[in-house]
Structure formats: C-alpha cells, structure tokens
Structure 1
C-alpha cells in the first residue's frame, strides 16, 4: 500500500511540475520557468484586465526596461515541442499601444526559428495573435519558447512598455505541411517550402518569371528588393539538411540584374558544429543588364575562402553588398536555379620553357618562355574565356586587377604549340 501511494505521489508530482502546451499559467504546481534577457522582465500575475476573450485568473506580464531594444523572456518546456503536424500557434495579448508586434521564437537543441505577428490592432483590449509555421523550416528538438514585444524599439519601463500575454496553444496548421528544399533549387515545386528569412532591409518574394528568355525560361523565380538606404540587406533560405561539398565545390546561379557589374555574394552558413567559423562565401559580378545570365561560384581554392564544410544548412544571398539600395527598380534583382556544377578538368602542364609569376597574383601576371609567346588566353576554371592578349615576345605581363578572385587557367601559344598552367587571383 505504501509503495502504491508513493508511486501515485511521484506520478502526480512529476505531472504537476511539467510545463507543456497549452500554457494557461493557471497551475499552482507548475513553476513556469522563464528566463529574462536584455532588459525584459516576465512575471506571472493576477489578470489585471479580466475582459473580452480572456477571463483567466492568471496571466504573464512582460515589462520592457528603460532603453532596452531586444528585451524579452523565454520559457523552458518539459520536453521538445513536436512540429510534425501541429504548426499553428496562438497567443492572447494585451497591449497598451496599437500597432506593436510580438515575436515568437523557438530555440533549444536545434536551429532556432521565429515568426513576427501581425500588428496588434487595438490598444488595451485582449486580442489573439496567430503564428502559422506550416511553410517554415522547423525541427522537433527545440524546447524553449521566446517572447519579444516591439522588437527593435526602445522600452521605457513604464505602462507603454508593459504587455500581458496568456493562453499559448498549438494546433493543426491551416495549410499543408511542405517539405524543406534540397539542391538544386528551382522554386517550381508545389510540395516544397522555400523558407526565406529577410534581414537588414532585404525583401524576397517568389513570383512568376517577369523576364523569361532562352537562358531562363522558368515559370517561377525569386525577386529581391534592396530597400532605401540599406547596405547589407539580403535573405537566407533554410535547407532540409547540411549541404554536401565533399565531391563538388562549384555552384551556379541564374541572375537578372538591372545594372551590369552588380555582384551577388553567395554565402553558406548554419553549421551546428562550428556556427561562428563554419560560414564561407564568395562574390561574382554580373556582366549584362536586364537579361538572365548564369553566374559560377567557385569554392575549390582553400587560399581564397574559408574552407568549405559539409555541415552548413543555409544559403544567404546578398546583392551589391556594401552599397546602399534605394528600393527602386535599380535595386531590384532576380535569381533562380541554384545547383552544383562540375568544374572543368583542365590539364596542369608545367613545361620548362613556360614560367608564370607571381602565383597567387593580385594585379598583374608575368609569363616568360624560351620561345616567342604568340598569344595568351585566360579562362575560368569552368572554361569561360575572360581575357586574351596577342604578343610576339618571350616575356609578357597581363593586367589581372579586374579579374574576380578565384582559380584561372592561363593558356599560352608558344612557337605554335599550346601549354596551360593554373594560377590563383587573390
């Protein structure tokens, strides 16, 4: 009898102290373990506004402290939250000022993901906000829910920075649960989600191809607008899993730019193994305006880029990095068809009558030969011709300052015979 009583007590004790969804903050035994950060203070209090859609006795109060911009608080759940089918979340809020938003974020053992609510429509009235993650990259291992009100705006610690929230629920999503993407990315699938997250003034939209041509006749593409005054804006897409660079380190992207010479920076990040140092990137300039072209991103050289890895699961797109956008047609870009591509298998000839220095090079490359160098042609690693010079001497210097960083092939015609050698532009 004592053993049964003890077992029942332990079961009730364990159940009473387990915080799981839904969260109504009414229990007298659940601790509701919130962790405040960056000037946010969350407190469980008696509901001071029993009215409308929320007549609960107990709610959570969040005060955003004086001068705090990123203030919030997070609760640790008893177990990871399962997003397999239930991806619709609702939260009741009471806000002192209309137009504010709540950021709901999930963190823990996996990558974090978040969603910003629609603006709160009415001040000093309980309102229910909806967060639909059915088209987003999620996982089933995160066990923390983060609450941030009015992200990016300073709080004052007073009534105008005091918010109430309650009744956090999880249910079946309103739309279909879509698969996450893998390479190649064509943006044509109706069963795959393409979860872009914009940042720093970038605005990404998937839409019908407004400029179909021979290079890109695809029906659907991605548009990115770089907004007024933004310098480092871009967007990042979450992939289904880590991207494997073990056998192929060359990536191609189709791009449409309103101005020739603009660059696309393609960055890979998100490694859970080494988040800070696991990212690698490179830039390639467009060569035409108002037409589709295919750009090639070469990650083969360890001297030019941080070493690639097989752990990153996000792709970041930056257009015209470092220069301000204006939000107009001149800051509107399109991209499509991101895929691995096999590199050119070029011979690596080193012959006694053909030398080349310095290698790596920055601004100029000198070729010397015993015989007469009749012609020098420079190719990318994929075989695209980028520079040609005709000579009739045994010592010739080429201006390489305009070449993009990467691996190139120099082909020299010497006394009627062709020889090739690789070099690196840094």
Structure 2
C-alpha cells in the first residue's frame, strides 16, 4: 500500500475477505495490462509510484471515459471494492462512477457516485451481485460525466465472508466456556464510540496452564473450511500479542489450528486465520466446524505457548467464514391433530379450507390442513386459522417452518397477523417436490407483499397458494390447485386468553304490540320472522353471529376481531316496510371503549329486482358497559346512491358495522330485540286481553296455561330461540307436557285476539 494522506471510508465494517480478485491493482508493473478502456493510462508520479491517470477534457456520458478489468464474481455473494483516488488541485472537486458490473450486454451494474478532491482518499464499497452469472464480470470506473484529472490506485476486490458469529444473539452459540485458568464472558464493546455491540471477553492468567483459552459451540452456522480455508476475526486488546484459533467438531474432518499476530493495541484489528497452514500439531482444515477455540498465550514464533504465561485481557467479535446453516428443529405449534388448539379456520376470496387425513397413501402425518384454490375467485385467495394455545414468536428467530404437499410445484406465501404491536409480515417460498412432503422455511426477516419484518407474537397464520415465483405478487390468471399443510413450527409463546366481557343482565323487555305492527328478526317478545342467515360469509371482513344467552335470556353475540368489522343478517323474505316507521335494536359493548370506535346500521334490498338500494345510519358515540336501546326512524336511513330517503318496499338485509382505530383489538358486541315497528303499543284493554297465567312455575311435568280470553295458539321456544312446541288451542286454558324438556328457561308465546304476548317459565 502506498502513501495515504487522508482516509475516508464511505462504507466500512470489520470484514472477512479472501484474496484480491484484481490483477495489477496498484499499477506497479508500469503498464495498464490487464486493465482496458480508453482511460487506461499508467503514469509514474515519482519515485516509482505508479497510478492510472485520465484527463477528461469534455463532459459527456459517464461511460464515454472508462477504466475496467474483467474479474470473476459469483451471483449472490458480497464483495468489498476498495481503491485510492484523487484529482488535481486545478480541478478541485469532481465525481466518478465506481462499482462492479457485467462486461457484456445487458451491462447490468452496481455503482456508486464517488466524489474526488485533490487529497488522496481511500474509498470502500460493499456490493452484492444480484444480476446472475450468465454474463462475465468486471470492476469499472466511469469518468466521462465531468472534466478534469482522475488518478486511481490500489484497486482491490475481495469476497466478503459471511458473518457466522457476532455474539449479539445468545441462541446462536452454546457451551461458552473457559479452561485451564481463564475466564470468559459476553460483554459490551470496550471501545468508546464504536458499534461492535456484544463481544466475547477472555481473561488469561496470572495463574493456570500456559495453554489456557476460551471456547464456544456454534448452534446456527458452522465454519465451512473446505474450499476456502480462511476465517477472519476482529480482535481488540490493550497490548500486542499472538493468538491461536482452533476449530473442532468437524465431523470426520481433522482438528485444525493456526496463529496470527495482533499488532494494533487499543484498536480493533481484523485477523485472517488460514487453516491451510496448520499449527500446534494439527492438520489442514477440511470440513464444517461447530466448535471454535482461542488461545491468547500463543508464541510469536508459532511453535507453542509462552512460558511463563503472559496475563492479558482480549476481546473477540465478528467471526466470518464460508458458512453451513445448522438445521434447527423449532417447536411444533400446530399439527391440526387437536381441534381446540386452533379456531377461525376459514377460506376467503374463492378458496376452501378443511382438515383432512394425510393425502399420501401410508403417510404418517395424521390430520392436515387442506386448501383448494380456484378455478374462480380472487387471485389473492387463501386459507387461515387462529392459534388458541401457542403463538408464533417471531422476535429473535424470525423463521417458521411448514410441511407442504401438492401434486404440482407452486409458490406459497405465508403471512402472520394478530401480533400485538408487531407488524403484519409475509414471506414466500417455493414448493419444488410434487407428490412428496417438503419442509419450507419462511423467513419473516425478508418481508414481502408490502409487509414489514416480523417482530411480535402472532396468533393468525394465513397461506396464499397463488403466489408468484418472482415473489412480487399473485399469479394472474389464478392457478387452480389443491395443497396440504402440516407441522407448523416456530419459536413459541403461550396464548393468554382474552377475557370475553359480557353483560350481567339481559336486554330490556320491549313493550306489547299488535302482531301486525311488528316485523321481528330476533326477540322473545314477538313472533320472529324467518332469518335465512346469521353472519353470512361475505368475505374476509365479515364476522360470525352466535347465540349467547344472558341470564337465560336469548341474546346474539358478534365477535369482531382482526379486521372483522361487520356482521350481516339476511331475512328469509323481502319485506315491504313502507307502513313501518322505526328500526329497533338493543346492544351492549364493553367499557372502556376502544379508540375511535363507531357503530352504524345498514338496511339493504341487496339482489332485489332494481339492484341494491342501501341506507346507512351512523349511530351516536357508542356507550359501553350498559344496554343501549336504539329506536331509529326509518326516514333517517339515507340511500348512499340517492339523496332521497331509503326506499323501504323490499328490505332484505341488516348489516351491523363496527369501526375502530385498532383492528387488532377484540371487539365483542351483544344484541337483542332486533325488529321493525309502527311506533304503536297496546292499550290497557288490549294489554289485559293478552294476559295469560302459567302454573306451576317452575314446572317439572305439566305446565298449565290459562287466560280470561280465548287462546288461539301457543309456541314454546328455548333460550336459543329454537321452537320446541307449536300448538293450536282455541280455548280458555290448556296444558302441555314438559317432562321431556331439558332443564332451563323457556318462553311461551300466546296468540289471543290477534295479539301476541310472551311469558317465561322454568323447567326443572
């Protein structure tokens, strides 16, 4: 290396590297060969200090003036380009392009803009080759975009070895130990202002054996010392010393050791250990090694240990070598054998999802998840489920493995959601073994589909089978296929059950009304109309509606979680409500409210002859922790497509929508007494006419029903709103045998003089 008056490192780290791939990079041969290009011009600056000099007199395209050399690079590997450069004092400042690229069409390259001054500077760039190996490579300098002199010297391109250990992640090493008198620990970088993070600290002496040292075992990456037998290590100490590095646990490969001199006290220095030159009675390395050992008392003559021992404290970091990934068996978080370990098994946008037996004849996978996509539906269709016992913990280790089976090769995108404050994350992998189970490893540190790096504990797992092999979107048109999934593995965290808040008391009882004045979808006060669907599947944002009695009173519950923001109710017929005036619903939501929470109601005649006419009514700020009775004038439902009031001649659907600031937070909603009415109630005379007497109450065998007026009919419902008895009476009294009824609360609806009333009794 020749004189350097100023060192500017554009991008630098303590890097492991092998030999320089550039020939005549210092131009000391006095000729340009093998450099090419119209800027190849070697001159002597004096005292046999040869450099390449170019004088650009007219500015044009950067490549109009070029200095290049063909070299061999490998796609996917990272290289360090280093060179010295300056301009003359008359030019003062100018820029050039420097980098690595193809030496033939299409001339893809990775370059950086380098700013030169009249002072000699050293520039360093890290470049990963991403354009493939179809075309040869070169190191290049394009200088034609500016005028003035450009001097280039000491060009080197070296391969950067992979980082196999930096002591930042404890799970990547084990068996940290000291022996024969040393001590070992992982501590913070001892140098103020540097960025090495956690480093290995070894203290030797003053007592103990002269061959004392420190060691550890790699758990994530082995040092692969087969073709490239070098390993680089960053070392720091307050005094110069010699260190012996040794590798063991290489399978059948021999143990190997080699020594190097640390010569820069008070500074981090990168040492390159060449295990092709073995020492300490070992052999040339030729294997993949897990154990790494350092001896700080090695002699400078490389023929043994100092005697007496030299006490000192040294630090180790950033170990680099060719690597072999050590397979890690992650904890099993889902194998679909136990149904209560997952919930919300669903498909969306045209796919189907079921749990079935292993499709392989004689296979041992037991129950597996089956996904069928296509031929119709959205290109982003997929299948999903929610973990109920074990979350995928993607904080330190951001990988998840999944066993996949299909009859054809395809690409699969895995996505994780419901990670608390962790962002949604997705990663795609290729299934390449049709007709066989294959384990795919999804690395959520490489996010795709406009998501972020995973960093949380995730409950929901989603799979998209129509992912493109280029990892940049979905195939269009969709590729129909059937695939199977099993044995989902990841670092795990327990699922802490979310307390499901619920009302302590039932909803208020509605007033007595004439049957002709009410169209009821759900209420034990009136005769309910047929509802063809509670919570139909209208896509990924729709919620389910289930029965959830409160104090034995029939009640419906909606669970709006993870983006499930609305719930639909489909009436069994189209209803002409032009003579009706109000919509009624009682609802209960937890307190305190979620940030930004709103509720709205939509009435629709979806699929009616004239197309959909919808009306939406946004409710006032919700109230939590209590039953709220809504009685909304139908005139307040304004059609979105027409400023006039909603046409009410063919109402078919009711949609309840809840919006909130954080869709990751659970939202539970209970409702009762969902009906339309004419805003009329019974007079005292009508009310008295409808009164009945039930006895005994509670009843075990026979329940007697009596009224002062003729009972036309009775209908009995259980707490779930299911009809268990329907009987014509036409007399003042009757009896029903309830001995076969299950114990619990029941509702008896009586029709008397055209008026329906409800009375509860208990079967015991």
Common fold, TM-score beyond 0.5? Answer: no
Structure having the larger proportion of residues in strand? 2
Q: Highest Rg: 1 or 2?
A: 2
| TM-score bracket, shorter-length normalisation | 0.3 to 0.5
Q: TM-score, normalised by structure 1?
A: 0.38
